[in-house]
Homo-oligomer: A and B are copies of this chain.
Amino acid sequence: MILYGKPVADTVLENIKESITSSTTKPHLAVVLVWQNDASESYIRMKRRACERVGFSFTLIQKEASITEEELIQTIEELNTNPQIHGIIVQSPIPGHMNYQHIIEHIDPKKDVDGFTPYRIGNLFLGESEGIISCTPKGIKRMLDYYHIDISGKNITILGRSNIVGKPLSLLLANADGTITLCNSKTTDLAQFTKNADIVIVATGKKWILRKDMIRPDAVIIDVGCTIIDGKAHGDLDTTWLEGYCSYSPVPGWVGPMTVAMLLENTLLAYNWLQK
């Protein structure tokens, strides 16, 4: 089975759209951009279009790459206190003279729709799974739920322990009763952990690091990797000869739409909370 992301993302977006049709005000997402490259431009375009589709307001605040940390924090604090804004994200990457996590910590956790502030991470750790939590892990769990893939009691191996995918996902799936193995670049013999897994989530950014001989038949593979080579996107999973052998998510086309759908869901949650 190929696990397409689009039908899942479409369902989420349609539900969001429907839930706000009768509101007089609309959720409003603000994106702060301080460094533009092809990837960030493409992500922002996806976020803007998704906002337009469901009827959210969208504001892009573009700053010069020479901005100081203090000025950027000032911008965030203005958005924190602006009652018209419900969700704030700082588009990564940011210029090298600034520390991303240090900047992010100034976002009011109530408006932190990326789920990157320590408070939001702590809530995910403590069991939050449908609230405002990190978008890609939330999207992966939603996708597994959509395709009726059990988590409880299953062996789940995650390759890559980033702050935005591997680590939060390990908590989310451990909370859902999965047995989690979290690997990193220092792991010796990845295959011993992937061969044994019912579900493998691969998020290393290394093209084709996961091959057929490392996976057992009937496994479920979620591929979060995307490496662009000569303009072509490659996943972390080599899908050669995989069809009929196991289930997997296609690259490209999965991570982006699901992550954006979860971002909009988080913005709706923040809006609902701030309206109270």
Q: A residues within 8 Å of B by Cβ?
A: 101, 117-123, 125-126, 152-153, 155, 161, 163, 167-168, 170-171, 174-175, 177, 179-184, 186-188, 192-193, 196
Contacts and interface: CB of A to CB of B under 8 A. Distances in A.
Given A118-B123, A122-B121, A183 B179 contact: yes
A168 B187 CA distance: 20
B118 A153 contact: no
Nearest to A184: B177
Given A122-B121, A125-B118, A170 B187 contact: no
A152 to B, nearest CB: 5
Contacts of A123: 118
Contacts of A174: 161, 167, 170, 182, 184
A251 to B, nearest CB: 24
A164 to B, nearest CB: 11
A188 B153 CA distance: 7
A122 B117 contact: yes
Contact of A192 (B118, B119, B182, B196): B196
Given A163-B126, A167-B174, A182 B180 contact: yes
Nearest to A161: B174
A101 B122 CA distance: 11
Tallying the copies of this chain within the complex gives: 2
Closest 4 CB pairs of A and B: A118-B122, A121-B122, A153-B186, A122-B122
A199 to B, nearest CB: 14
Contacts of A121: 118, 121-122, 125-126
Contacts of A122: 117-122, 125
Given A174-B161, A186-B153, A179 B193 contact: yes
A168 B125 CA distance: 9
A97 to B, nearest CB: 20
A181 B184 contact: no
A108 B191 CA distance: 44
A125 B125 contact: yes
A125 B126 CA distance: 12
A186 B192 CA distance: 21
Contacts of A187: 153, 179
A186 B179 CA distance: 8
Given A118-B125, A170-B170, A177-B184, 14 more contacts: A101-B126, A119-B119, A153-B187, A161-B174, A167-B171, A170-B180, A174-B182, A174-B184, A177-B186, A179-B181, A179-B182, A180-B181, A180-B182, A182-B182
